[in-house]
Amino acid sequence: MSRFMSSNYAGLVPYVPGEQPRDLTDRVKLNTNENPFPPSEKAKRYAAKAAENLQLYSDTECTLLRAKIAELYAIDPDEIMCTNGSDEALDLCFLAFCDEQHPAIFPDITYGFYKVFAEVDRVPYQEIPLKADMTVDLNDYLSAPGKTVFIANPNAPTGIALPKADIIRLLESDPDRIVVVDEAYVDFGGESCVDLIHTYDNLVVTQTCSKSRSLAGARLGFAFASRPLIRDLNTLRNSRNPYNVNTMTMMAGLGAFEDEEYTRDNCRQIRDTRAYLTAALRGMGFTVLDSSANFVFAASDRISGKDLYLQLKARNIFIRHFDTPRLAPYNRITVGTVEQVDRLLCAINQILEATK
């Protein structure tokens, strides 16, 4: 920290993204939950076409894209806000809906960015331990009225989904507090709560094009909520960066949502490969949590999480390791193509054989 940095940020620990090797020749990258399939042809075509008009500012309202999503989700465009990745939508939720009277609460094991947002946005927060089986204990949240809940559903890095009925209980437990449901992985097997925004004016749902729609590099996310909440979020967005979604990204998103069959098809393949990967790992003695996402969380008592991670990395296979006490035995493995998963399984098999 230089002597010029604001003391407000002394000790701020930024989010640490997974490694992004640029050269993927002969590398298997299963560490950041990207989609193994390319973006839809339509998304690529629309983005290239949009590049021709980049002398103009982007549409701060993302009018075309919101209209398309509103039609698909049977909601109103005024119930949607588009953001630079769903990370931005989540950040705006911390800013808009948390303060001394409404501290943020979220699980101790969840998306690492929640804690970083709470810190950088200088809002009070509390981390609530998951149960021993890595599931959320709903009672911890039901008995914390007034606190703004952030819940990833399915959760990361566990992949475990909460039933929609549990979210409804949470929403009804205190109509005067906000519940933010982060649905980054919902298309891989979770139950979406977007349709509940008409019933519950204290609900915000965030989604992203980064995972199921193969647009991680484009940076496109959304918040869905009742009109008053979207207005609040837009007040903040327009006070910070009204041109948050660039024209190429908005058009790539439009192309992706006009090609829903492609998304559904890719998600189906990923779910099938997830079942295959889960069964194969369990067959090798791994504990694998039941995932509803595009990754699995797995531990073996024959090798530490870190050792497996390092040995796979030495073989050009990247998975994600988290070096905290409860997570250290595990690794988070993105579900790639069948070919990538086969290469991974083959390498794990060799590594385990060598450690006998």
- Which residues contribute to the site for ligand PLP (CB under 6 A)? 33, 85-87, 111, 152, 156, 182, 184, 208, 210, 216, 221
Task: Spell out the alpha helix ranges (H) of 284-356.
Answer: 305-314, 338-354
Nearer to ligand PLP, 103 or 112 (CB): 112
Closest contact distance (angstroms) between CB of 153 and ligand PLP is: 9
C-alpha to C-alpha distance for 83 and 96, rounded to whole angstroms: 15
Looking at beta carbons only, is 215 or 347 nearer to ligand PLP? 215
Least Å distance between CB 346 and ligand PLP? 27
Most distant CA atoms of the chain, gap in Å: 62
Beta bridge partners of 105: 126, 149
**Least distance CB 263 / ligand PLP (angstroms):** 15
By C-beta, is 153 or 300 nearer to ligand PLP?
153
CB of 86 to ligand PLP, least distance (A): 4
Rank residues 221 and 336 by Cβ distance to ligand PLP and give the closer one: 221
**Residue with Cβ nearer ligand PLP (17 or 228):** 17
Pick between residue 184 and residue 348 the one whose CB is nearest to ligand PLP: 184
Q: In which residue are the tokens 């990538």 written?
A: 340
3-state secondary structure 115-143: HHHHHHCCCCEEEECCCCCCCCCHHHHHC
Nearest 5°: the CA angle 321, 324, 325 is 120
In the bound complex, what is the minimum distance in angstroms from residue 132's beta carbon to ligand PLP? Answer: 22
Angle (CA) 105-87-187 rounded to 5° is 90
Place of tokens 């981390």: 127
Closest Cα partner for 204 from 265, 124, 275, 148? 148
As measured in angstroms, the least distance from the Cβ of 354 to ligand PLP is 32
Q: Where are the alpha helices (DSSP H) in 146-259?
A: 164-173, 227-240, 247-257
Smallest gap from residue 268 Cβ to ligand PLP (A)? 20
- Closest to ligand PLP by CB, 96 or 184: 184
Beta carbon of residue 210, minimum distance to ligand PLP (angstroms, whole number): 3
CA 97/CA 95 separation, integer angstroms: 6
Q: In what order do the strands lie in the sheet with 125-128?
A: 80-83, 221-225, 203-208, 179-182, 148-152, 104-107, 125-128
With respect to ligand PLP, which residue has the nearer C-beta, 117 or 141?
A: 117
CA dihedral 111, 114, 115, 120 (to 10 degrees): 140
Nearest residue to ligand PLP, by Cβ distance, number only = 85
